[in-house]
Structure 1
Amino acid sequence: MMLQRPHDYFVTGTDTEIGKTLVSAALLLALAQRGQSTIGMKPVAAGADLIDGVWHNEDVDALMAAATMRAAPELVAPYLMQTPAAPHIVAELENVTISGAHIQSCYQVLTTQADVVIVEGVGGFCVPLNADLDTADMAQTLGLPVILVVGMRLGCISHALLTAEAIAARGLKLAGWVANTVDENMLYPDENLAALRARLPAPLLGRIPRINELTQTRRAQAAAACLNLNFLTL
């Protein structure tokens, strides 16, 4: 496990399409407002479009837009794959060998370029990357405290508690969690939030409503305004 930097965090979620990128970008913006230089990293990204001869992933682009420092794309997203599917399947189809050591090396380079590096996982906390490596292994190798994005919808309590247990089982600290509204029509959202606050062993960093802004940047700005980072080591 690497020596932990005090300002870096690993962002995971209770599922895929749960708001990890939104929260990661919001964290980058909020930390920049505190005067810190920032870089976002998404080590494994599946799903890309060819634009002007360059492969672009929407999540990676959002992180790069929210960061204060411009970093080499191959460091920000060392494994950028084309097909939007489970990463271990895509990696095999596209003949990509995902290496935890290479991810660690890229992260270490990024730490020399900014005060803060926010690392976003892929999918949930235990998504396979290859036959021998999953995202939990990646988080454990980096050794970063974890911020959990809880998608507020039916079933979120069990998903969040199970993910918190998995994080603890890897010897990692759950530094905080963010409640992100996925289902605007969820019944009893306040009661669900209260149940999570009573059971998760970390502070609530913010509650994000459904944001319907048209651009990634404006969505991230709106989400950043919902965060309270006073509980974090900054």
Structure 2
Amino acid sequence: MPAFFVTGTDTDVGKTRIAAALLYRARQRGMTTAAVKPVSAGCELTRDGLRNDDALRLQRECSPSLEYDAINPVAFQPPIAPHIAAQQLGHTVSMSELLNATEKTLAAAAEFALVEGAGGWRVPLNDDQTLADLAVSLGLPVVLVVGVRLGCINHAMLTCEAILRDGLPLAGWVANIVDPDVCSGAENISSLKARLPAPCLGVVPFCHATEPPDLADYLDLAPLLKRQ
């Protein structure tokens, strides 16, 4: 079962829309899919409990379907860093809780699975641990979503160095153009292709359409499936 941890160069670089499009791409191939967003913030209180838009988007691309709690086991209402949201509520995010919940969902052995982080690689979970520690504990190869805008080369290179230093392979990366007015965007992407030690899975243009069918054709799943 190929499973990957999806991280980004920063917050708001399109991790979820890329992750959902990758899952959709796998479904197009007839594969079963699963996803986990272990911790989320910025949730809405509904009659069913707290719900996160990103987790719901991932849930729609899971086949066979999964219960919400299997996808997003820890959710907070304030739209702030998870560890700060937990502190404000008098809670502590438990690494063991996240790890157990994530492994339980992955144990269903979907043919293609993604675990999506929150924000960037070093987002804190508690006073001692970050989401990177969760990725390391899971031992998953990493897919990096690069938000193409001013400064993206530095952000991507630093994130890649941190991933490799933590002992995980970079399985691939996606150039997601988040600033339509970025200067020398094509040159930035060429520079990243020359420097990042993993295949580019696609270049997603800036667009207001965010649904997986609109984005999937820009993405190549083959480099990830070759890792089986």
Equivalent residue runs for 1:132-171 within 5 Å: 132-171=128-167
Aligned residues: 225
CA contact (8 A) 1:211 1:222 kept: no
Which position in structure 2 is the counterpart of 1:3? none
Shift >6 Å, 4+ stretches: none
Confirm whether residue 223 of structure 1 aligns to residue 215 of structure 2: yes
CA apart distance, 1:53: 4.5
Deviation at 1:152, TM superposition (A): 0.3
SS at match of 1:164: helix
Q: Which residue in 1 is equivalent to 2:96?
A: 101
1:95 offset after TM fit, Å?
2.5
**Corresponding residue to 1:81 among 66, 70, 76:** 76
Aligned counterpart in structure 1 of residue 29 of structure 2, from 28, 34, 38: 34
In structure 1, C-alpha distance between the alignment counterparts of 2:161 and 2:185, rounded to whole Å: 23
CA contact 1:100–1:141 (8 Å) conserved in 2: no
Q: How far did residue 211 of structure 1 move?
A: 2.3
TM-score between the two structures when normalised by the length of structure 2: 0.95
1:14 matched residue in structure 2: 9
For the 8 Å contact 2:56–2:68, the answer to whether it is kept is: no
Which residue matches 2:121? 125
**2:190 matches 1:194:** yes
1:23 aligns to 2:23 (yes or no): no
Q: What 5-or-longer segments of structure 1 have no aligned partner?
A: 1-5
Deviation at 1:98, TM superposition (A): 1.4
Q: Is the 8 A contact 2:44 2:51 kept in 1?
A: yes
Q: Deviations for 1:150-179, whole angstroms, at most 9, x for unmatched residues? A: 000000000000000000011000000000
Over aligned residue pairs, what C-alpha RMSD do you find? 1.3
Whole-Å separation in 2 of the counterparts to 1:211 and 1:38: 26
Deviates more, 1:191-200 or 1:73-82: 73-82
Q: Conserved in 1, the CA contact under 8 Å of 2:83 and 2:92?
A: no
TM-score (norm 1): 0.92
Structure 2 spans left out of the alignment, 5+ residues: none
**2:213 partner letter:** Q
The answer on whether the counterparts of 1:12 and 1:122 sit within 8 Å (CA) in structure 2 is yes
Q: Partners of 2:48 and 2:174 in 1: how far apart?
A: 36
> Which residue of the other structure, out of 64, 73, 78, is the alignment partner of 1:69?
64
Tell me the secondary structure at the aligned position of residue 179 of structure 1. Answer: strand
Q: Is the 8 A contact 1:110 1:117 kept in 2?
A: no
